[in-house]
Structure formats: structure tokens, C-alpha cells
Chains A and B, each alone.
Chain A
Amino acid sequence: MIKLQNISFDHCIKCTICNVYCPVARVSLFPGPKQSGPDTERFRIKSPELVDSTLKLCSNCKRCEIACPSNVKIADIIQEAKWKYLKRRWFRPRDLILSRTDLMGKFATLFNSIVNFFTRRSIVKFFLYLFIGIPYQKTLPEYENGTFEKHFYKNYPDQNKFPDHVVFFHGCFVNYNNHKLGRDLVKVLNSLNVGVNLVKEKCCGVPLIANGYINKAKKNAQYNINSLSEIHEKSNFKIVSTSSSCTYALKNEYSNLLNLDNSAISNEIEYITKFIYDRFESGNIFKMKPVPLRAAYHSPCHLERLGGVIYTIDLLKRIPGLDLVILHSECCGIAGTYGFKKEYYKLSQDIGKDLFRSIETANPEIVITDCETCALQIEMNTQFKVLHPVNILAMAVKE
């Protein structure tokens, strides 16, 4: 039976514009979002055996949805078809490791120096490649000592003194791999007289969806919805996140893809630069000192999809001394866990090639981007350090 609520593929007018903007179709045999999404969806519904295995090449960057003039949820159609129709093995150790960011993070942050020591060894990388298929050219992200949550409650006990408050959905990356970003966020928000609150949260589900663990993703999503809506109901605080992909999932994918009701929170969730932009616009600006850096800004696909790139650019432009080059918007190729799989490694590199070249041409001192995995990809493929816009804002705070 065709579910009548899910026939956005019927709005496709076959204009093929999505193919133009698909980074995967550009470099591979992937037939493009139009064919993999709306074109073949109608066949798959009737005869699931007609599923085409090239579906798995889609990296879910969502650039097709940005391009679509008819509002077809192309990437969602492909994601759903991937886990509904494609056969996959029951036990996939690599995908399990890559997608259970929570589990891995909790474990690794306990023994972070040992884990980091091992993941940097070539011999370990080689075994990872051989046995589970993580490309040996990739560097796995380093883990912090302990979780951000723990550090937060220990180091920032006085958040109640501020007149305004937000809930910070820190996501796995800040919690396990990048405490600095979390600390910088607290610094920036506190300078705006906004206090930071944390709630119990689980991985937003983006890597789980990408690797086909849909039931687990739904469980996590429901947990987050409950936890966030409970605090929002009580306090009316806005919810912010420093990860563009987490924000997009919480806001849109929970309802569009996982069929969960997130209406209580979807309007309350904001990507951090949008939240800060609104404070700045209403006159609440902290005193800034110059940040004399030449920086290149790369806009991540999911922030593009969210329509949030201009807020980041606006904030960066306000920082005195920052010499900003805005790179042509294109996919870096890593697409979360996609680039960490040996079968997609070459594709992921080919997709990002133009971006790496344009970064080299811009010759900045640092690169700025909103997305944690884009940052990993750029650091692996260029010689530049990559920072988050919030890091730069924190550098500009005059104390």
C-alpha cells in the first residue's frame, strides 16, 4: 500500500536539476538523486525486488533537496529506501563502531590516552583497514579525557546567575572529542549574559540513520524529544547546538524520516550562530577585540540545507581584524561516516578535491567551518587547522 502522506516523489517534475548539484553523481556511476529517489521509488513501492544497489552510494548531503524547485524530499526518500529495501548483513562491526558514537565515546574518554595512542599507530590503522574496512589514510578523531558533561558541571556551577538561559544540546563530538568548543560556547554565551544548561541526551541519531540502525535511531530520537520537551515546557528555554547536522536532525529528520512527533521542540531548536545573530541584532553584543587572522570559511551541506549559512557569515564579518575568504559552497565529501568506509574512500576524496584545492589557493592561516566531520576531512587533506565559528567568537571576546 502506498502511504498517502509520503508521496512527495509525485511532485517531481523530472527536471534533473538535482543531478547537477549531486556531488556523488559528479564523480561516480551513481545515477543521480532523481533516478535513485523519485524515479525509482514508485517501482520500489510496487516491487521491492527492483531496488538498485547504487542507492548506497548516496552520502545524504541533501544538496539535491536544496536544489529541488518542487520541494521533493529526495534525500529522505533515498535514505528510507536504503534501509527498507537494501539487503545488509546482520553483523557489521565497522558500521557498529562508526555509528555508536555514544558507546565508543563513553568508553574511549575513560582511557583516552591509551585509545589515542593506539589509533595513531600505523599498524593499528592497518589492522582496522584489514579487518573492518576503515581506510588507513583516515585519522580517527582524538578523544578527550572524560566527558564534556562532567567537566561542565564541575567547572561552571554558577550558570544560574544569568538573566537569560539556553539548553545546549552538545552532541557527541563536543562531549567526547572537542571540549574546547563546549567551553568556548559557554564563554561566548555568558558574555551575552546567557546561562548554559545541559539536559540528559543521547546521540542525535545521524550516524545511526546513515548506517541503517533505524530502530536504535528512533529510540535515541524519542529519548531526546522527551528530555528536551520536558525542560522546554518547564522553562521555555531555547535549545541550541553547535553541530549543523545534529540541529537538522532534531529539527527536521525526526519528523520527516523517523516519523516521530517533534513538534514541541522543532521550532525551539536553533543552530548556534542563528541564536547569537538574533542577540546581536537586538543590540546584545559583547565587547570585541580584534582577531587578526586570515581565514577561509567552508559552509557545510547540512547548514546550507537549514538555510543557516548567512548567520555564520554575518557573525564572522562582525569580528574586527578577521580577514575572511568565503569559499564556493561545495561538499567536502566526508558526509559523516561515509568517508570512513574503505568502499567510499576514493569517492569521498574525489568529491572534496575541488574544495581542498580552493582552500590551498585561498592560502589562509586557518579554515572555519560549522561541521565537525567537515573539519576532520579538511584537516586530513590540507595542512590547515580548522576551527568552529564559536571558537573564533570566543577569541574575539574582550574580557
Chain B
Amino acid sequence: MYDCLIIGGGLAGLTCGIKCAKEGLRTAIISGGINSLHFSSGSIDLMGYSADKNIIHNPFKHIKSIKRKNPQHPYAKIPVKTIEESITFLTDELKSEKLLFYNNSGKNHFRITAIGATKPTYLSQESVFNEQLDLALKNNTRISILNFEGFRDYYQEFAFSNLKKNSLFNKLNISSGSIKLSFLPDTKKHLLESNSIDIARLFETEKYLPRISEEIKKAAGDSTIITLPAFIGLNNYNKIHKRLLELTGLQIYEIPTLPPSILGMRIDNALKSRFSSLGGEFIAGDKAAGGEIYNHRVTHIYTENYTEATHHAKYYVLSTGSFLSGGLQSGFNKMYEPVFNLQFNWSRKRNKWYSDNFFSAESHPFLSFGVNTNAALHPYDKDGNVIDNLYCIGAVLSDYDPVREASGGGVAVSTACYAAQKIINGIKG
């Protein structure tokens, strides 16, 4: 019998799990497949764009106004103080795993995407943005956008030409270039066949760092700031980043690549390691297949590999994510939540699910579909009854659009902490 059983091991599930385990609750996470941090930017967004598509500089101020404008929004259900505390909680936990985040003293900052667009975000790893970069931008330092020649999951010319068009960068002295490294020394794989993870492992071995640094210096020319695709190490990234700075004498920043996202995986590794060091139990390789609800309470859940055996807990948390992660499912003309068949906000008409233009500024309606909850994040069963011992957190929730608002990370973390606190109060009385 668990105190808290979390279905889904992504940013929301892990954050909730860490908070519960830290309070001594017997906590388990069932995670079917790897989480979407592996596809993420590795920055934590809080609130980047307003409803009229303007960039938000002060996210907390904007979140306060959401309560009035959109009372169904997950942020509207959580006290602003809890949202602030949950972000601090996350950065503290990651810090204890030696993963440091930069926050622009309560304001948003910009991160650069793989194609050189800029997006507002709230927390970034120090190799993505820090004060020095801010300063350098003001002083018009020379920047060189570099890549390893042959690496196909990132194109520096693409990023470069888009940055050149950007008002933040167009007055700066930017150039692009490539680093030559014909194959990976350990596996003899050619760069053309390599993913970000292969090159991250090359950095991890450390013994090639002096040689790589020489090549980087050659490619950098007289720039003092360079950007590399984000693959400077995975587990030892802090040490390797530091070592590279020493060896090259340059300021080195990272730009996310196509998946696998090394920046996201650093967060994933840190959170999982934190969770298990606090005594949490992580079940990978099996998937929650369904749950039983009786008398407005979840009585147990069962998994794909053990359809007859059951897991019991005092509280359950559903953090299975959105359509990509399988937390929400769609068929030809229906949508549903697969574990508990919870009440679901969606449009009955298929042509109302998406916008005709894939890159539409209006985003796609399906991104706001999801499980409907009350103010305490309890969902409703199909007859409309509140389920008392089940909380829904993260991307499975409805009435917010993580892409259009740039709010996914913040909603995941704050709903996770909010639910965790309620569970802790429930167990400890």
C-alpha cells in the first residue's frame, strides 16, 4: 500500500514524487516509456505570451491577471505564492543534483531555438543563458555560431541566418562556422550517423576534450563567445563545461538540437536520481492500463504486464501528459483519457481539433483539450462525480495551451507541488 502512487514520470510526476518522498511518504511512480523532457528545450517556461500574443516580461504579474480572465486555467486554481514556491522548490532540488538554473530575477529571458528563433522562458540552464551573455549582447561582443561538420540534427547556417533577422541580434557581429571531426574516436561512427547523444558521450569521455578544444578554437576565429549544439556532456556536464571554458578561453553557450534533447535529459536524470535517493520507487517498463473507481474513490490500478495484480494507494496522481505521451488519446471521431476514462474537455467536431495552418499563430485547439478538474485538481468520473483521492497535474489538464502561452513547464511544476502538498496534508492530517 503506497501513500501516493503517481501515474506518469515526466516533469510533473517526478516533481510531485520528489516532494512527497521528501516528506517521508511511501511514493511510487509508474512510467510507461520515456518522458517528454527528452523532446523539450530544457528550459522551464512559466508564462511567455499573453492571449493577444504579446511577449510577457513579468510572468507572475500576468499569472495574477489570469485568475480574472480565465478561471478554468490551471494557474487560476493555484495561489500565486504556491507557484512561486514551486519554482524555487524545483530549482533547489535540481541544484542539489548540481544542475544550476538561471532565472532573470523574476523576469523572463530569451532562449534560442535550434532554428535561431528566440522564445521567452523563465528558467534556463547556465549554458543556455546567464548574466554574462546579457552583458556581452550589450557590449557587442563577437559571436560565432558553430557546429560539428556533418552533424545532421542542427544546422548552424539556419540558426545564424534567422538570428541575423532578429532585432536583438541584427546589430551584433555574428558569424557561423564549423568544427571538423571526421568520426567519433570510440565507436568509429561517422558524424553523419550520429545523434546528439553520441556526441554528448564523446564529451563525457573527457580524454578527447583537449583535441576538441583545439578544433573549437580554430573554428571560433576571433570570436569570444561561441554557441555549440547542446551536447556538452550529460551526467558530468558541469565539469565538462567548465573544463571546456578553461581549455578554450571562450564563453560557450548551448543551443538545443533536434531530439534527443540533451538539455532536457539533464533535468530528467537529475530528477530521477533525486527521487530515488529520497527513497521513491520508480517503475519503468510497465504501464498503467486502467483503474477501478468505486464510491468516488480510486480503489486500485492495474498495469499492462500484470493485468490481474493491482497497486493500491491512499492517493493517486495522474500525470500522464498530453497526446504525445499517450495521457490523452484520440480516435477518428473521439477523444478520451485512457486510464480512468475521466471527464474530458474536447470538441465533438473533428475539424475543430486543429487549425488549417500548421504554424498558425492561433495555435491548435487540441492543445487546450484535456481532463477537466475542480479547483482542488480533482477530476470527475464519467457520471460527473468528483474523485476524491485522485489529482490531475501537468499536461493532461485542460484549458491552457502550453505552446501558445509558453507555459507548459510552469503548469507542470506548480500543479505538481500543489497536489503534493494536499496529499502530504491528507496523510499527515
Contact = CB atoms under 8 A, between A and B. Distances in A.
A326 B279 CA distance: 11
Contacts of A16: 195, 259-260
Interface stretch (B218-226, B305-313, B363-371, B400-408): B305-313
A285 interface: no
B180 interface: no
A77 interface: no
A21 B308 CA distance: 30
B187 A28 contact: yes
A281 B34 contact: no
A326 B193 CA distance: 34
Interface string A278-305: 1001000000000000000000000011
B276 A306 contact: no
A309 B283 contact: yes
Interface in B186-241: 186-189, 193, 195, 197-198, 201
Interface string B336-355: 00000000000000000000
Interface stretch (A64-72, A158-166, A195-203, A206-214): A64-72
A15 B258 CA distance: 9
A88 B277 CA distance: 47
Given A66-B284, A307-B285, A310-B281, A267 B303 contact: no
Contact of A26 (B188, B201, B259, B307): B201
Contacts of A308: 286, 305
Interface centre among A15, A29, A329 (most CB of B within 10 A): A15
B135 interface: no
B305 to A, nearest CB: 5
Nearest to A65: B285
Contacts of B39: 15
Interface string B15-47: 000000000000010101111101100000000
A228 to B, nearest CB: 16
B78 interface: no
A69 B326 contact: yes
Given A17-B259, A69-B326, A309-B283, A27 B186 contact: yes
Q: By CB atoms of chain B within 10 A, which of A15, A29, A69, A281 has the most?
A: A69
B193 A31 contact: yes
B237 to A, nearest CB: 15
B1 interface: yes
B293 interface: no
A305 B201 CA distance: 24
B285 A69 contact: no
A360 B284 CA distance: 26
A18 B282 CA distance: 19
A251 interface: yes
Contact of A68 (B28, B33, B286): B33
B305 A307 contact: yes
Given A17-B260, A28-B187, A313-B281, A307 B306 contact: yes
Interface in A54-92: 65-71
B263 interface: no
B285 A66 contact: yes
A61 to B, nearest CB: 12
A152 B188 CA distance: 52
B152 to A, nearest CB: 11
A362 to B, nearest CB: 14
Nearest to B33: A69
A137 to B, nearest CB: 21
A39 interface: no
B195 A19 contact: yes
Contact of A19 (B32, B260, B287, B305): B260
A397 B422 CA distance: 40
B265 interface: yes
Given A16-B195, A17-B259, A20-B265, A306 B36 contact: no
Nearest to B281: A310
B195 to A, nearest CB: 6
A307 B38 contact: no
Nearest to A328: B273
A309 B28 CA distance: 12
Contacts of A251: 305
Nearest to B30: A307
A69 B309 contact: no
Interface in A222-274: 251-252, 267, 270, 274
B324 interface: yes
Best-surrounded residue of B197, B308, B325 (most CB of chain A within 10 A) = B197
B285 A15 contact: no
Nearest to A247: B305
Contacts of A17: 34, 38, 259-260
A314 interface: yes
A310 B276 contact: no
Contacts of A267: 306-308
Among B32, B38, B306, the most chain A Cβ lie within 10 Å of the Cβ of B306
A69 B282 CA distance: 16
Contacts of B281: 310, 313-314
Contacts of A252: 305
Contacts of B282: 310
Interface string B302-334: 010111110000000000000011100000000
A21 B195 contact: no
A223 to B, nearest CB: 24
A70 B38 CA distance: 13
A15 B259 contact: yes
Contacts of B283: 307, 309-310
B284 A307 contact: yes
A69 B36 contact: yes
Interface in A1-40: 15-17, 19-21, 25-29, 31-32
A310 B28 contact: yes
A326 B281 CA distance: 12
A295 to B, nearest CB: 17
A273 to B, nearest CB: 12
A310 B305 CA distance: 14
Contacts of B305: 251-252, 306-308
A274 B306 contact: yes
A380 B151 CA distance: 38
A281 B309 CA distance: 12
Contacts of B197: 19-20
Given A69-B34, A307-B303, A20 B260 contact: yes
A122 to B, nearest CB: 31
Nearest to A281: B1
Nearest to B324: A69
Interface in B259-284: 259-260, 265, 276, 281-284
Nearest to A252: B305
A267 B195 CA distance: 39
A309 B355 CA distance: 44
28 contacts: A17-B34, A19-B197, A20-B38, A20-B195, A20-B197, A20-B260, A27-B187, A66-B33, A66-B285, A68-B33, A69-B35, A69-B36, A69-B324, A70-B33, A70-B326, A267-B306, A267-B308, A274-B309, A278-B309, A281-B1, A304-B284, A307-B30, A307-B283, A307-B287, A307-B303, A308-B305, A310-B283, A326-B276
Given A31-B193, A267-B307, 14 more contacts: A17-B259, A17-B260, A20-B38, A20-B195, A20-B265, A28-B187, A66-B284, A69-B36, A71-B33, A71-B287, A274-B309, A304-B284, A307-B287, A314-B281
